[in-house]
Amino acid sequence: MWFKNLLLYRVSGWNITAGQLEGALARQAFRNCGNMEMESRGWLAPRGDGDALVHSLGRQMLIALGVEQKLLPASVINQYAKARADDIEERQGTRPGRKQLREIRERVTEELMPRAFTRRRATFAWIDPVNGWLVIDAANTAKGEEVLDVLRKSLDAFPLALVKTQLSPISAMTGWLAANEAPAGFSIDRDCEMLAPGEEKATVRYLRHPLESQEIRAHIEDGKQVTRLALTWNERISFVLHENLQLKRLAFLDILKEQSEQNAEAAEEQFDADFAIMTGELARFLPDLIAALGGESADAT
């Protein structure tokens, strides 16, 4: 149980216990798509065993949103609809009109939906009432919004704000790279992306490349700004910081995973050990990251 991406939100006034949250999520528990449904969303058991929709350890909570989608490509619908339209034209001598073609597509879709393949995925979220965090393990905001949408439907009141900082990640990362100096507790790694302002949006990417060269400084002097930068925190967590404050390619370094394995005496304890160490590290890491960006902005919404 190690998150690989972080979407950061603030929750204020959280006074919901794990038991109360369990009852609220049960109203939106996951179920498979019905015959005529293209998608179904609902809460899954985070551990994948039993019926508990909230995994709680201390005051930390883990939840998981399940999404099931039917795979029915438009090309398949068009293929069947065309064959049916051709058959009608052959029998009637005239090509079906626009309205009739639309009705044919609708009927074909209804007939194919029960036979469509399905794809299921899960998105995990960590709720930290102690420090006021809601963190979603998602690589894009669309998947994060899926979690928030179902969470809002499950809870009567849910005070939530996207995290904003005094310094924009772009200006902070550009300054760090220009000075070749990361903030306290952080080190600059070997990946970055720089973007030139203006309509052309010229982009330069470096992968596994030293970032202390004069070439990098020349790009910044020409006006390019850093939109992604690989960093490591205290030699414990590596990540890529993006311009919108998303964190991707999160990796908890070996020392933490070894510590987790030592703390788990049996296989069934490994999940709890991973979760405890991950949340403990993130609870220390996130304030350092926010401080490196000048602290939180008061106008977070």
Burial of 50 (0-12, 13-18, 19+ CB in 10 A): exposed
Amino acid, res. 298? A
From CA 117, how far away is CA 100, in angstroms rounded?
Answer: 27
From CA 85, how far away is CA 21, in angstroms rounded?
Answer: 52
Q: Largest Cα–Cα distance in the chain?
A: 78
Tell me: the pLDDT tens digits for 95-144?
888 888 888 888 888 777 777 778 889 999 999 999 999 999 999 999 99
289: left (phi over 0), alpha (psi -120 to 50) or beta: alpha
User: Tokens in use for 235?
Assistant: 């030699």
Q: What are phi and psi of 251, to 5 degrees?
A: -140, 120
Q: What is the chain's mean pLDDT, rounded?
A: 89
What Å distances lie between residue 267 and 44, 77, 228, 258, 261, CA to CA? 21, 47, 37, 14, 9
Domain boundaries, the chain: 7-72+116-162, 74-114, 169-292
Q: What is the pLDDT of residue 269?
A: 79
Q: What is the pLDDT of residue 2?
A: 92
229 sits in which H/E element? strand 225-233
Q: What is the pLDDT of residue 174?
A: 96
Could you tell me the pTM of the whole model? 0.84
Q: What are phi and psi of 75, to 5 degrees?
A: -65, -35
Any idea what DSSP says for residue 165? B
Q: What is the pLDDT of residue 187?
A: 96
What Å distances lie between residue 211 and 139, 193, 230, 248, CA to CA? 25, 11, 10, 19
* Residue 227, pLDDT above cutoff 90: yes
Q: What is the pLDDT of residue 151?
A: 94
* Residue 299, pLDDT above cutoff 70: no
Three state DSSP letters for 285-298: HHHHHHHHCCCECC
